[in-house]
């Protein structure tokens, strides 16, 4: 972590977002600052998905399968020994237009 005197705005942002989140009861960062949230909201509104209702059978299957996919992803990460896994920051790859490094390769 950087020193307070080196990056005071970083501390103000992090502490401010935590306080606002606790007081407001919602994740303020994801709904207002995060570029992923902006892209998702823009896509949602541009495609007019406000009234979209997915098939209940599909939703049920997806809910049951999410833990399987999570387990498979974790096992694949352990199997491939991805050393960069803790350092993977989706914002970094989103903003730089790069893929996720996997054993020295760039996968888009």
Residue 104 located in a structural domain: no
pLDDT in tens, 3-44: 888 888 888 888 888 888 888 887 777 767 777 777 888 888
pLDDT tens per residue, range 50-60: 788 889 999 99
Show the domain range for 66.
8-87
Asked whether residue 32 is assigned to any structural domain, the reply reads yes
pLDDT score, position 92: 59
> What is the enclosing helix (H) or strand (E) of 107?
strand 105-107
Q: Which residue has the tokens 């049951």?
A: 64
pLDDT of 2 reads 74
Q: What is the pLDDT of residues 38-47, one digit of tens each?
A: 788 888 888 8
pTM over 0.85: no
59 within domain boundaries: yes
d(CA 57, CA 76): 28
Domain count, the chain: 1
């Amino acid at each position: 972590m950087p020193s307070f005197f080196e990056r005071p705005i970083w501390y103000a942002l992090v502490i401010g977002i935590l306080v606002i989140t606790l007081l407001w009861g919602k994740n303020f960062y994801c709904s207002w600052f995060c570029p992923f949230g902006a892209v998702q909201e823009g896509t949602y509104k541009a495609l007019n998905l406000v009234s979209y209702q997915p098939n209940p059978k599909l939703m049920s299957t997806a809910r049951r399968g999410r833990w399987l996919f999570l387990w498979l992803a974790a096992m694949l990460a352990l199997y491939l020994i991805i050393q960069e896994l803790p350092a993977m920051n989706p914002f970094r790859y989103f903003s730089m237009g790069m893929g996720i490094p996997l054993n020295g390769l760039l996968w888009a």
